[in-house]
Each structure stands twice: as structure tokens, then as C-alpha cells.
Structure 1
Amino acid sequence: MDKKQVKPMGIWSMLLFGITGIIGSGIFLLPSSGVQLIGVASIFVLLFDALLVISIALCFAKAATYFDADGGPYLYAKEAFGNFVGFEVGFVTWGIRLIAEATMAVAFTTALGSIFPYFATQTGKMVVVTVLIVGLAIINIAGVSLSKIVINTVTVAKLLPLVLFVAIGIFFIKGNHFTPIFPGGEYTSGSFGQAAVTLFYAFTGFEGLVVVAGDMENPKKNLPKAVFGTILAVSIFYILIQVVSIGILGPDAAAASAVPIQDAFAQVAGGFGKSLISTGTLLSTGGLLIASAYLTPRSGSALAENGMLPSVVAKRNKQNAPYVAIILSAVIVLLIAWSGTFSSLAMISAISRFAQYIPTCLAVLVFAKTKKEEVSSFKLPFGWVIPIIAILVSVWLLFQVSGEQLLWGLGALLVAVPFYFITGSYKIKD
């Protein structure tokens, strides 16, 4: 059967796709977390994270060009290190989605709590989180598909308020708000690493740009440009948001605010500014949560269909919805969401991503020895230096968090081990 020809994505389309795929709930709420940990220096932490993300994203781009099949990190890890590591990375993909969905649910509740104080309480938080996750699970089981209108609304809702905030707020910055650089005037050991892991959450999602590389025009030439251009644009935007937030509120007020951008814009544009940012936060976070609630259980059912989870998880109802995976995912997401605040879950979510990022960077080094270079679509800038730097910095970041946070973030790797033997995945032959 002939496939319908689809016009490949040009460089500008890729840039827009990448930017909208990265900018989400994190930047609306995370500026205060960075300021709490390291003060005004959080601006430089964002630059550090941007450089790390660029190096990891280029490794993803390089790994993707060795394969025609989809699979992403699971495929790279399996090809480079065998079935067990591939299974671990594939299994943890579901865990990453579960944690991310819980984080978005709590982000929505945090934003709602800034408007209605009851929802800022622990009881209010649990009520909203429960209603959201259970409600979306019921809608999912009923077979209601994700609407393009929701996706388009999310894109506009998260970009327009932030652009206006920077464009208007930059004229209300007070220079004396940028001193001292560190809280209390002194650097606290370990605060840079903690801030870097927390703010890294705002950059997650860049891997989506590499996944669709097969649909772009001349990936050999344009993919590195799209990756670098996307991260550069997002980084500049994030740094401007952080500068404007601190510049308007001051470091103490920015650190104390649960919704710093909203509070900062309220000082500049009054009720209109506050309403615009709060509406944008709710629409953006809510839309992303809806998309996540749709994709997360399907990630679990895909594992079952590939023999990586018990087959019952892949069962579908008359509406073709994977109802077992939906229910199982909803229960796990609820437990995670009930357990922490947005900033703590954002850090855990960021930590979990490294279970995909580090194996992919390592795989690039392996492929340099095991695969012919001409198979790849483009040459990695600076060769092996990029993946080495990405691996070393990523491992260093993981050493900056507590053992409990590390266990929460990478716990899915431990959970996966018994399933590897229960499902007989070790018997799979290449």
C-alpha cells in the first residue's frame, strides 16, 4: 500500500515544535525554587542546565540517526548493552511518565491554590489531585480521544502570557534586587547542584524533537541546528523570565512566592496581569495533564504488548481503551501526587529522566566503535567529547541529591528487575 506523501518539516517548523514541546508548567512555578536554593545565582544555574541539555540532546540526535525503527532510548540501550539494560530503560520510560503526570497534577493544584486559598491546603490539594486523576481516568476508559483543540489551546496559553510578562515586565526591573548574588550574601555548599537538578525539570521534553527527526527535511544538516536553536531560544527565554521575576519582586519575595511570575506581573499590570498568568498556568498545565493522562497508560500497555509487563495490563475494552493500564496508572500517579509538593516532585521527575539520558549518551560511545560512521546522518560536534561531558555532568548532578530523592527518581529501575525474569524477557534473542 502506498503511503501518502507528507511534506517534511523545515527548520523553522522544527524550532517551533521543539520550543513548544519544552516550555510547560515548570517555568510558571519553578523560578521560586531556584531562588530559594541559590538566590540570584539561579540565573546562572539555568545557563548551566542549558549547556547540559544541549549536550544530551545532541547525543539523542546522534543515536537516532543509526536506526530506521522507532524506539528511542529503549532501542539504543538494547542495541548497545543487551536485553537487560534495554528492558530497564524501556520499563523506566513508563515510570518517568507516571512521575511527570503526578508532577503536573500537583502543579495544576498549586496554581489553583494561588487563586482559591482552600486548594493550597493539604486537604484541598488532595481533593483536586484525586478529582483530576480519577476524572481523567474515567474519560480515558470511555474512549474519549485527545482533541487537537486542546493541544492548540495549550500552545497559545503557555506562550502568550510568558511573552507579555517578559515584554512588559522588563521595564519594571529594579537593579538593587540583584544583590546579594547568594542568599544571605554567602554561597551554601551543595546549593548549586540542588538548584541545577530542580530547574532541569523545566528543560525536560527536548527528546521529543529528536523522536520526530525522521519527519524533517534534511536531518543531517538541520537536526543539529534545530536542537541547538531550540535549546538556545528556550534558555534565553527562561533566563529573561528569571531575571524579570527577580527584578520585579526581589530575591526574598521571589523565593517566598508559590507563583512568582503571577505575583510579579500583578505588581506591574494589577489584576489583569495576575489573571492572565494564572489563566495561562491553569490552561497550560491542565492541557499537558490531559495529554499525559492519555499517553501514560498507553506507555504501560505498550510494555505489556511487548512482553515486558504481564499481558493483563494490555487488555482493552469495547472502546479500545487499555482500561487495566489506565486504572493501574491512575492509582500509581495518585500515590505519587499525594506524596509531595510541586518542587519536590519536579526534582524527582528530573532525576528520573537521567535513567534514559545517561544510557543514551553511553550508547553513542558504543556505536562509535560498533557501527559504521557512514550509517549516521550527521557528525557529532567535537566527537566523543560531547557524550563524555554529558555523562560526567549528569552523574555529578545525581550525586547532589539525597538518597531518598534518588530512590524515588530511579526506583523504577529496581522495580523492573523482577519483571525482567517474570516475563521471560531474558530469553529474547536479537
Structure 2
Amino acid sequence: MSSQVAGSTVAVQTVVRKLGLGAIIGIIFFSVSGGPYGLEDVVGYSGAGMAIFLIIITPLIYSLPIALMVAELATLMPVSGGYYQWVKEGMGPFWGFQAAWWAWVASWFDLAIYPVLFTEFSAYFFPGLETTTFALGPVDLSLKWIVGVIFIWIFAGMNMLGSSIVGDSSKAFLVIVLLPFLLVLVLGLFQMDYNPGTPFVPEGLSTMEAFGAGLFVIMWNYAGWDGLSTVAGDIDNPRKNYPKALAITIPMITLIYLLPTVVSIAAVGTEDVEWTAGAFTLVAESIGGRWLGLLLAFGAVVSAIGLFSAWLLSYSRIPFALANDGYLPPSLAKLHPTRGTPINTIVIAAIICSLVTLLPFGQLAALSVLVGGCVLMLEFVTLIVMRRRFPHLERPFKVPGGAAGPWVILVLPATVISIAVYYTVLESGFLAGVGYAVGGLLTGVIAYLALSPAKRRSGIDKRVNFETGELTG
């Protein structure tokens, strides 16, 4: 459709809705989890007992508040662009732009994690990935980086084929990822010779130090509940299906994390296995033999594919939304005529990701969580502001607790993020802990000042139509 703004016709792009409940659950699963892979470091950093405690408590104090906030805002404003449109509607153009820009910056680091994980997991099958390099003049390129770049562009191509392809593949990937852990769970139940809660914390660490040591890792494993909001326009009946999918996936992901971790620790203990990335593969070999280790390693490779594909679907819509609103060049707001996908923004995401994969995994994860956490705080504030500004709007889902409800669910994740930042700075120093993230956040102000003139010249001013759930203007 189109509308008349400042004497010119402006095309208002909308995306065909294609994703049903099953596809939404699959995409949320890979936006948030991708399986228990990555939890091994929580056991190594925090101890067996504290790891189990963190797996249980984090959904209650971090995931559930975020999901409740997302459910209310997503059903109030089920529009393409998700949290960008929510914050812009509630807090104005400046903060809306910051939410989108910060999420885009976070995406540069977050997307790059999954090609790194893919090559790490693939090295189990092809050890040469770890050691092979190619000399190109003064630069040495590792085979791992080259394989990672190939991975990026193959699955960027899949994203270009449409959101339904991503949704369907996510359902298949989910089964492939979970099957090896189901086998570990079943076989491990007959080999439980250790107390899974021992040691509760590693020797030499206090309870709070152990809690803080594993917190960032567990937050990363439980992050991403708002990711699918950017493609709300692709969802069939988002006001019904989005909150239903969140209600299903929170307990599902918690159990998928908890049960294999408890059984694995009980079956092999913590002394004979180094609990770091890849430990679940060694656990599988110990419990079921080489065949089960191979199956679990293959599931890890598929998990990295599913995570990258789901997040690329979400993150590619951020520059699309900014372009559709006049901040970025109109070419970034173009959709494929038959697939309905923003191909140009997918290409840009793939280019940036190909370069950022050169950074180490730990730095990528920390930057992603910190910058993404600031976006979450803007979303929570938006929930409170929208309650005050528009108290009578129909809300298919509403955070319980009356007027105090939004404040309660804001305090919990804000406290968790603050604790994580404190311990990160304590361990890594200010620059590595938060300095780079602060620099990334400040680019949002610079970008807003630089791009606002283009926005004003475009004459575009889109707003949410609360009755239809569409963008107009």
C-alpha cells in the first residue's frame, strides 16, 4: 500500500505473513538456545551445583520477565521492525533509533559467534581446520576463517529464499539437535554414579564469585526472547501465536538445559572431564561410545547452523526497518518481488559478519550481551511509558500485577545485568569488560545526528496503527 506524505507518494512496505506456531517455536528455540551446547563453561566456571542452580533460576529472574514484556508489546504492536517500532512509539524517534542501532551493533558480534562455533564443532570431524593456514602475501588466512565465511554465505542465501524456509528448517534442525541429548539422557540414567551437585562451587571461589563467574555465559544461553519481534509481519496471527510460543519455549528450553546437564554430571562427574566447550561430546562418548559422540558433535554443527539462520532472519530486518523509515538508503528497504525478503540487508549482514568472525569468541559474546542488554532496558521502559500514555488500548496479553507489574519485571533483569557487568569488569578490567560496549553504544548518538537529515528529507513519518497492527504514514 502507499500513502501521501509531504506531497509525494511513499511506499509502505509490509511482509507477507507466513510463520505458524510450529515455525515460531523453532525460530525462538534457535534465537534463544540451540540446545545445551555452550553450557559446559558454566559448569567449569561456577561448579556443578551452582551451574544447576543458575540453569533453574535464570529463566525466573531473567527470561520470564523479558518474555512477559515482549508478549505485551508484541501483541499491542505486532509490526515489522519489532522493538524499534515499540521504542519509537513509546519514547520518540531518538530512543527508537538508539534501540535499532544498538541492536544492529550487537548483531555484528552476535551473528559472528555462530560461524566460529560451526568451525569449532566441525574440527571434531576435520582436525585440520585447527592448524591449516594459507599465506596470501603478508596476510595468513586460517582455513577455519575461510570455512566460516563459506558457511555465512550459504545460509545467507537460504535466508534470501524466505522466512518460511527458515521456519521449516528450524523445525527439522530442532529434532536433529535434541535427539543426541535425548539418547545421552536415556543412557546416562543408568550410569549415574556421582552427586550432580558436587562441587557446588569450585575450590577457591566464594558462592557469589561462582555465581558471577557463570552469569554472563548463562545469560547468553537464555538471551534472545525479543529477536523474533523484528519479523512480526511474517507471523500468522501474531497477537495469538507469539505469546503462546513464548509460553511453550521458556519451560521447554529450561528442561532441555537442565536434564542433560544433571544426568551428564551425575554420569561422568567433574574430575575426569574438562567442563569447557565441547565437553558434552566427551560425555556422550563416555556414556554411549564413539557413535554417540559423533552424533552429538553433528548435532552441535546443526545447532550453529540453526542459530545463525534464525538470528540472521531477525537482525537483517533492523536496517530494513531503518531504511523503511527514511534513515538509510531506500535500496535497503526493497523486498524481493516474490520471496518478500530484504536481500540487500541480508548481504550487508553477511559482509559484516565475514569480517567480525576474526574476533575471539569470548569477546564476541560479552559485547553481544552488554549492548543487547541496553536494548532490553529501553524495551522495559517503553512498556512502562506505553501503559501510562495509552492505558485504554486493547492488550491481548498484559503483564500481570497491575501498575506495579512492569516495574517488578524491569528490576529483575536489570539486577542480573548489573551483577554480570560488575563481575566482568572485576575479572577483565573496564576496557575489556564494558569499554568496547560503551563505545558501540555511543556510535548510536553519532549515527542519529548523521542520518537524521536524510530522514527529514525523505518526508516519511510512519506510526503504528493499533487497530490493524500495521505501519502507516
Confirm or deny: 8 A CA contact 2:285 2:291 kept in the other structure: yes
Who is 1:250 aligned against?
269
1:204-256, CA deviations, whole angstroms, 9 ceiling, x for partnerless residues?
2322566659735873xx86565344212211221112212322332244444
Q: What one-letter code is carried by the residue in structure 2 that aligns with 1:65?
A: T
Q: Indicate yes or no: 2:66 matched with 1:38.
A: no
How far has the Cα of 1:325 moved from its partner? 4.7
Indicate the larger mover: 268-277 or 59-68.
59-68
- Give, in whole Å, the separation in 1 of the partners of 2:196 and 2:78: 52
- Give, in whole Å, the separation in 1 of the partners of 2:227 and 2:421: 23
The aligned runs of 1:85-234 (5 Å cut-off) are: 85-121=95-131, 126-134=142-150, 136-137=152-153, 145=161, 147=165, 150-176=169-195, 178-184=197-203, 186-187=205-206, 189-208=208-227, 215-216=236-237, 219=240, 226-234=245-253
SS in 2 for 1:339: coil
How far has the Cα of 1:369 moved from its partner? 1.2
SS in 2 for 1:215: coil
Match of 2:410 among 379, 387, 393: 387
In structure 2, relative to structure 1, the CA distance for the partners of 1:67 and 1:177 (3 Å cut) is: closer
Q: What one-letter code is carried by the residue in structure 1 that aligns with 2:63?
A: V
Q: Sequence identity of aligned pairs in percent?
A: 25
In structure 2, relative to structure 1, the CA distance for the partners of 1:324 and 1:203 (3 Å cut) is: same
TM-score norm. by structure 1 comes to: 0.82
- Give, in whole Å, the separation in 1 of the partners of 2:256 and 2:310: 24
- Give, in whole Å, the separation in 2 of the partners of 1:312 and 1:67: 26
Q: What one-letter code is carried by the residue in structure 2 that aligns with 1:42?
A: A
SS in 1 for 2:319: helix
The aligned length equals 422
1:297-344, CA deviations, whole angstroms, 9 ceiling, x for partnerless residues?
564354334333355766899999977655643443234321113x44
SS in 1 for 2:400: coil
- Give, in whole Å, the separation in 1 of the partners of 2:305 and 2:78: 34
- Give, in whole Å, the separation in 1 of the partners of 2:190 and 2:159: 48
How far has the Cα of 1:18 moved from its partner? 4.4
Q: Indicate yes or no: 2:439 matched with 1:418.
A: no
SS in 1 for 2:424: coil
Confirm or deny: 8 A CA contact 2:155 2:309 kept in the other structure: no
The aligned runs of 1:74-85 (5 Å cut-off) are: 74-85=84-95
Confirm or deny: 8 A CA contact 1:309 1:419 kept in the other structure: no
Higher helix share: 1
How far has the Cα of 1:155 moved from its partner? 2.4
Confirm or deny: 8 A CA contact 2:216 2:366 kept in the other structure: yes
Who is 2:349 aligned against?
329
How far has the Cα of 1:258 moved from its partner? 2.9
In structure 2, relative to structure 1, the CA distance for the partners of 1:308 and 1:65 (3 Å cut) is: same
- What is the root-mean-square deviation in Å for CA atoms of aligned residues? 3.9
Q: What one-letter code is carried by the residue in structure 1 that aligns with 2:250?
A: I
Match of 1:361 among 380, 387, 400: 380
Higher strand share: 2
How far has the Cα of 1:164 moved from its partner? 2.1
The aligned runs of 1:280-299 (5 Å cut-off) are: 280-290=299-309, 292=311, 296-297=315-316, 299=318
In structure 2, relative to structure 1, the CA distance for the partners of 1:194 and 1:306 (3 Å cut) is: farther
Indicate the larger mover: 273-282 or 132-141.
132-141
Q: What one-letter code is carried by the residue in structure 2 that aligns with 1:50?
A: P
Uncovered stretches (5+) of structure 1, i.e. residues with no partner: none
Indicate the larger mover: 268-277 or 346-355.
346-355
How far has the Cα of 1:399 moved from its partner? 3.3
Uncovered stretches (5+) of structure 2, i.e. residues with no partner: 2-15, 135-140, 464-473
SS in 1 for 2:125: coil
Who is 1:50 aligned against?
59
- Give, in whole Å, the separation in 2 of the partners of 1:371 and 1:281: 45
TM-score norm. by structure 2 comes to: 0.76
How far has the Cα of 1:285 moved from its partner? 1.3
Confirm or deny: 8 A CA contact 1:54 1:227 kept in the other structure: no
Confirm or deny: 8 A CA contact 2:114 2:308 kept in the other structure: yes
- Give, in whole Å, the separation in 2 of the partners of 1:123 and 1:410: 34
How far has the Cα of 1:387 moved from its partner? 2.8
1:329-384, CA deviations, whole angstroms, 9 ceiling, x for partnerless residues?
3443234321113x443333333321321111111111221112452223312223
In structure 2, relative to structure 1, the CA distance for the partners of 1:350 and 1:7 (3 Å cut) is: closer
